[in-house]
Structure 1
Amino acid sequence: MNEIIYPTVNTYLYDLRNSLGESTDDVQQRRQSFFAKIPYKLNGYLYDNEQWEAEYIEILGDQQIIRFGEDRGATYEGFYYPVCLNDSYGLLISCSVNNKTPQPATIVKDLKQEIDRKLSEHKPTLGQTWLIYGELACPGKQNSKQIAISLYQSLFPERNWENDLQGSNDAFESHFFELSFHRLKFNANENISEDFRRCRYSIDEVLENYHVIIILYPHKIVAETIAKLLNFEGMSLFCYRSKILWSYSQSRILQQWLKQDTISIRECLQEIRDSDLSKVDYKQIQKTLNKAKTILPNYAIDLSCLNDQSRTIDINLHDYQLRVRKISEYLKYELCDLKSKSNLTFLSKFAITASQKYLLQIQKDGEYFTSSLETLRDLIDATWAIVEIDRSRRDRNFQNTVAIVGVGLGASSITASLSGQFPISNTNISTKELEQHPIGSLIIEIPNFPKPWLQTAILGFYCLSIAILFAGLTAISLALWNHFRS
């Protein structure tokens, strides 16, 4: 017998309100997108308010909720409950049958369809939780687990109960079941687009996610107490959970981008390692280094964002654990007469997973990529220094060459200007005398050398000899200077 009294389906939807670096237009667009989920005119509530920086603000003020339009003969009833949770928006949509007669568990399928119809195509950007609850028609005679299975399969027929069950808990004479499933929608080896890199996608585009809590109550008093509490405390509790999963999904995207950047930078460095620095084209090396140094700033930004996700999870995990304790303490106080277990242990399993898997994984990734960043920077700086040293050496050699050639040319010019004082430059000297000159006698041996050019050739030889002599002395002096200076 799978009948329950007053079956109710709640869905908690969360959207990012603002984040660092966003413009006013971005914030306004997010606000409009959130309020589009509520098919009522709420223009009066769209204006910014300093109080909206508070931890928990009921957007509708004292009105709190907006009930569904009451159509004549309507089978269902429900309400919208929008809130502002610091940097996020939260919306609770509750739908239930409008009578207290026992209903089959499969009725929740119709309730979910009613909620989906009201939401239309509007999806949350941070996350979503489904809460199904109802009062057992015959406490003690019904199999609560079988009813819960029927409720879950009616809501998500494509899911598997055994695989998704995270935990169950009997407390306050009630039966609690938590089911969850999530996986990333992108392959670990595929390239991540720029939009993914900058975390511009909503969670449903990067993460396949289901989170369902089922509560079966023994009687009306417990049902009203727990339901009333979860309508409000659940808004914060499930928001913390959604933020943790959202941050973890973003961290996986950032991890992929950091891996891609690391590969690109290492390829650049490998090109340099494989090169012979004594023969390599330094223009190509500089091009490769510039490419690596262009990637590094994005790498550093992504690493900073990865560390931000770690801090976000840490903060929200702490708040999640505090909220679970607060809910347990409240129920202990309100239902102190019940002689049953009073600990909601099933909610603690997610906190353990978030701490030992999500948070630890991001922290380890952060340490690895931080170490890689420092190594990459050191390698690039060292290679760049080698390039600069070699370029400085080549510049110094060029300057020395210019100095040597300059001194040689200067000495040659001076010699040429004084050549008119040489005896050999006398215009009356005969060709025979020039042929008897030590230098002339060597030059004249050159086949077919024109004798009229003999005097000019002798003078040119003097100039060239002086140029080579002074250039050699200059080269020796510079070599000795560099030797003693080093």
Structure 2
Amino acid sequence: MLKIDHPQIYIYSYQLSRESKTEVKSIWTWANNIWQHFSHEKELIFSQANLGYPLTKVKKFSHSNKIDGSFKFCLLDDSEGILARIGSPETDENKDIDIAALKIFNVNNLMLAESYEDWLGQTIFITYKLQTYQPPTKKYLREVADKCLKNLFPETSVHPPFYRDTQLLGSPIFEYSSLKSQLQVFVYLVDDEIEEKLGQILQPLFELFYYRHKITTAFIDSRKNYDLLKGLYAKIEGIIANLETKIAHFESNNDVASQENVNTDESLTSLKSTLKQLLRESLDYERVLESLEDFNNTINIHVYNYQEKLAQICDKWQASPENLTTFKFFIDRNSPYFQKQIQGDLGYFKHGTDLIKIAVDLVAGIVDIEQAEIDRSLERTIQILGTGLGAGGLVVSAVANYVEREIVFRIPQNGDRIHPAVASLLWSLLAVIVVSGLVGWINGAWKINQYRWFRRKSEPRRLSDAQSPPVNDMLQEAAEVRSPTEQE
């Protein structure tokens, strides 16, 4: 049966600071549950008022001859942290105890804080000693570590899986971690000298674990953003595919062979409606994309902070970073993976913004062309009618001087002749029609619809290709139509 001496369990728990002062289902609920269970001072309640920097003075409790503990609190940037210790007092009766006795340290899983909205994560650091006259084998120590977790967390679904083992200050340390549950556990064989050195890095180690959880939480949140972006990207692609279909239909309706079927107002309204939908979705898309960039920046910042704390530990221990592979591995292997993954996602999803821009420019080009054609057609119509009406007015004014007979309204009789005034009106209408027709023919107004939206029949191109000839042709045509309008 495996036995250990003076097991100590250090629990590092972190959460984001809350804007509201409610502390229900928070890190404070977790701390007070432990205190109420083990301490005799039931009336003491911990809250944000206990926070300070660096770690506050210790608040101790004594449950029995088998269990005692303490609490420390710390305010870190935008977060709150609690360091709790539950362990066996340094007495002879707590030497050579069965590992199964660890069950009483974690009644009803008191050690584990529930995951909630502001939760950052938890690191549990288990230390123990052994009464041996020769160094134990690595296999034996791994068995001890597995038994410690099994007894502290009887439910196999609770404790994280084994991750890796390393050496810290010359003694084996075993790590169990799960990124998904934001829980990390170390089991470490110590002696009096190692315990003293751990006491020297109390604050840097507390902040080191904090930055680790900030990094992992940012990465976990980025995966949620990835799923959101993926859904929005698919939705935008569907809208653009619908837009392509409408543009193709719009162009075919404006072809020479189908002029009688053209309904420009309805087509433009449909295009504008789809464009508005695209712009709404693109706004949500940009917001989620910005959040993904924020997570990337958060990881970059806290990678630097983590390295700073690692350097402080090296200074305290007068050790090189190579001797701290237990903590250095995370910053050398895990963090770069997080950063590259998010950067890859950003590179992929930023193509979506280019796709949106091309689609918006294309529809804007179509609307500009159509509006320019309408304006030019209206100008020519006004010019033609104005010229014709002017000519008709001249004819009326010229003929009116020779009209001397008064108009008498009666039933026409055989032999009646057209009254000169009526003849003048007819000559005026004839002048309007002839002159308007002549001016229209000279200005080419009758040819507008003939060449309007003329396109060579070809296979449809995808909007996502920024060099797509239809897009360039459409925008070039918009510029050509604007130019003569401005000259006029």
With the shorter chain as reference, the TM-score category is 0.7 to 0.9
* Equivalent position amino acid for 2:59 in 1: I
Is 1:475 equivalent to 2:461 in the alignment?
Answer: no
Q: Secondary structure at 2:250's aligned position in 1? A: coil
| Residue number in structure 2 paired with 1:447 | none
Q: Secondary structure at 2:323's aligned position in 1? A: coil
Task: Report if the CA contact (8 A) 1:16-1:30 is conserved.
Answer: no
1:56-86 Cα offsets, whole Å, 9 max, x none, are x1364xxx22223x45x46421111110112
Q: Secondary structure at 2:172's aligned position in 1? A: strand
| Residue number in structure 2 paired with 1:91 | 82
- Cα–Cα, structure 1 residues 427 and 247, in superposed 2: closer, same or farther, change >3 Å? closer
Task: Report if the CA contact (8 A) 2:307-2:331 is conserved.
Answer: yes
| Residue number in structure 2 paired with 1:67 | 60
Give the one of 208, 211, 215 matched to 2:184: 211
| Residue number in structure 1 paired with 2:73 | 82
| Residue number in structure 2 paired with 1:330 | 316
Q: Secondary structure at 1:263's aligned position in 2? A: helix
Q: Secondary structure at 1:78's aligned position in 2? A: strand
Task: Report if the CA contact (8 A) 1:108-1:154 is conserved.
Answer: yes
| Residue number in structure 1 paired with 2:340 | 360
Q: How far has the Cα of 1:485 moved from its partner?
A: 4.8
User: Counterparts of 1:46 and 1:372 in 2: how far apart (Å)?
Assistant: 48
Give the one of 432, 437, 446 matched to 2:415: 432
| Residue number in structure 2 paired with 1:111 | 105
Give the one of 464, 474, 480 matched to 2:429: 464
Q: How far has the Cα of 1:130 moved from its partner?
A: 1.4
Matches within 5 A, 1:274-423: 274-275=245-246, 276-278=249-251, 279=253, 281-332=267-318, 343-409=323-389, 411-412=391-392, 415=395, 420-421=400-401
| Residue number in structure 2 paired with 1:449 | none
| Residue number in structure 2 paired with 1:21 | none
* Equivalent position amino acid for 1:293 in 2: L
Q: How far has the Cα of 1:210 moved from its partner?
A: 2.9
Give the one of 88, 96, 99 matched to 1:102: 96
Give the one of 51, 54, 61 matched to 1:58: 54
- Cα–Cα, structure 1 residues 297 and 121, in superposed 2: closer, same or farther, change >3 Å? closer
Task: Report if the CA contact (8 A) 2:13-2:121 is conserved.
Answer: yes
User: Counterparts of 1:37 and 1:483 in 2: how far apart (Å)?
Assistant: 73
Q: How far has the Cα of 1:87 moved from its partner?
A: 2.0
User: Counterparts of 2:110 and 2:331 in 1: how far apart (Å)?
Assistant: 29
Task: Report if the CA contact (8 A) 1:133-1:215 is conserved.
Answer: yes
Q: How far has the Cα of 1:152 moved from its partner?
A: 2.0
| Residue number in structure 2 paired with 1:220 | 192
- Cα–Cα, structure 1 residues 324 and 8, in superposed 2: closer, same or farther, change >3 Å? same
User: Counterparts of 1:314 and 1:239 in 2: how far apart (Å)?
Assistant: 15
RMSD, matched Cα: 3.9
Task: Report if the CA contact (8 A) 2:391-2:435 is conserved.
Answer: yes
- Cα–Cα, structure 1 residues 355 and 32, in superposed 2: closer, same or farther, change >3 Å? closer
1:460-485 Cα offsets, whole Å, 9 max, x none, are 53232112123224424544996995
Q: How far has the Cα of 1:126 moved from its partner?
A: 0.9
| Residue number in structure 2 paired with 1:45 | 49
Task: Report if the CA contact (8 A) 1:95-1:115 is conserved.
Answer: no
* Equivalent position amino acid for 2:151 in 1: S
| Residue number in structure 1 paired with 2:219 | 248
User: Counterparts of 1:167 and 1:215 in 2: how far apart (Å)?
Assistant: 13
* Equivalent position amino acid for 2:250 in 1: L
- Cα–Cα, structure 1 residues 97 and 114, in superposed 2: closer, same or farther, change >3 Å? farther
Q: Secondary structure at 1:58's aligned position in 2? A: coil
Which structure 1 residue ranges, 5 or more long, are not aligned? 19-25, 184-207, 435-439, 441-453
* Equivalent position amino acid for 2:54 in 1: E
Is 1:150 equivalent to 2:147 in the alignment?
Answer: yes
Task: Report if the CA contact (8 A) 1:108-1:155 is conserved.
Answer: yes
Task: Report if the CA contact (8 A) 1:13-1:124 is conserved.
Answer: no
1:226-264 Cα offsets, whole Å, 9 max, x none, are 442464332111111101111101111222222222222
Q: How far has the Cα of 1:11 moved from its partner?
A: 1.5
* Equivalent position amino acid for 1:464 in 2: L
| Residue number in structure 2 paired with 1:191 | none
1:274-323 Cα offsets, whole Å, 9 max, x none, are 12333361111111111212222332232222112112112222332343
Q: Secondary structure at 2:134's aligned position in 1? A: coil
Aligned length: 416
